[in-house]
């Protein structure tokens, strides 16, 4: 089991943050441009952990060299069921240096966008403080 999956399923966002490279690039399913840097990505992950309920991973795929992972999950955003996948790339030090999240269906993605949008100021403050 990938350590990121273990951290998320244990609701241990500190452990998830510890896996991030300083120069991590996070591509959100609901934002146009990627986010860059560990403080901002960590703040986003903390907010997502508040927005998602009942998150659990149902499948895990890895490349032969162990540097690319696809973690398929199910969760809820409010009353909407959401399916998604975390695509992770590990740098040579074993840290996550690239993370892309994709979700479906559209109604759940819209609920996620609204919930995360409501937390954007908090996310920005936390990232600036980090």
Cis status of the peptide bond prior to 105, with omega within 30 of 0: yes
Q: What is the pLDDT of residues 17-65, one digit of tens each?
A: 999 999 999 999 988 899 999 999 999 999 999 999 999 999 999 999 9
Q: Provide the whole-model pTM.
A: 0.93
Give alpha helix (H) positions in the chain: 3-9, 13-18, 38-51, 106-117, 120-129
């Amino acid at each position: 089991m990938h350590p990121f999956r273990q951290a998320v399923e244990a609701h241990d966002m500190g452990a998830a943050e510890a896996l991030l490279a300083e120069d991590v690039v996070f591509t959100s399913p609901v934002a146009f441009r990627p986010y860059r840097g560990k403080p901002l990505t960590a703040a986003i992950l903390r907010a997502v952990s508040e927005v998602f309920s009942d998150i659990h991973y149902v499948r895990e795929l890895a490349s032969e060299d162990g540097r690319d992972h696809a973690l398929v999950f199910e969760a809820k955003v409010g009353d909407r069921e959401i399916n998604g996948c975390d695509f992770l790339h590990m740098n040579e030090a074993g840290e996550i240096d690239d993370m892309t999240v994709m979700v479906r269906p559209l109604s759940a993605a819209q609920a996620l966008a609204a919930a995360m949008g409501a937390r954007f100021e908090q996310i920005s403050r936390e990232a600036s403080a980090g």
